[in-house]
Copies of this chain bind each other. A is one copy, B any other.
Amino acid sequence: MGGRIKMELLKERIQKDGKIKEGNVLKVDSFLNHQMDTGLFREIGKEFKRRFDGEKITKILTIEASGIGIACIAGEEFQVPVVFAKKTQTKNIAGEVYTSRVESYTHGKVYDILVSKEFIGKEDRVLLIDDFLANGKALEGLIEIVEKAGAHLAGAGIVIEKGFQPGGERIRARGIHLESLAIIESMDEKTGEIRFRENVG
């Protein structure tokens, strides 16, 4: 129960500091994905540890940029290395990479994500971590990379899921262990009201 009580703090924070913008955008950039409250991230990391305890996680995989901070603090809780998928090819990355194509809702464009083959292998039990789940395209890209690596997908931990968009349902339908710490059932741009799904976790 301790974890649930802590995650009520997350929901209160979303209620207090989240701003609803047109186009179903929830701005939580004062504490989650532009300015970051690392004390909250620590509680989030502990809660992911609680929910995926027993999964024998060997590696955390996230995607740049806003997943990285949460994943790093979770990485300390799990005591495993953290890898972030990169969004564009740079000089600094080896040629030998796993890739996946992702369609971004936020940016309205398609991009490739890549992970060096050195950092995920068949022996790994991978936990995916990200800040948001909406249409699920980024998470599906990460899943594809885990599959290409032949690693075991242990599950996915998300901070905020937009329950009224299809990503979460589609990923659960595949039998993937998905844990979202706050699932938004509905939000109203005019009134500012945010309703959460009950009894998560």
Contact = CB atoms under 8 A, between A and B. Distances in A.
A42 interface: yes
A35 interface: yes
B68 A118 contact: no
A119 B29 CA distance: 9
Give the dominant DSSP class at A's interface. Answer: mixed
A76 B38 contact: yes
A107 interface: yes
Interface in A1-43: 21, 23, 25, 27, 29-30, 33-39, 41-42
A75 to B, nearest CB: 4
Contact of A84 (B21, B36, B115): B36
B36 A92 contact: no
A35 B119 contact: yes
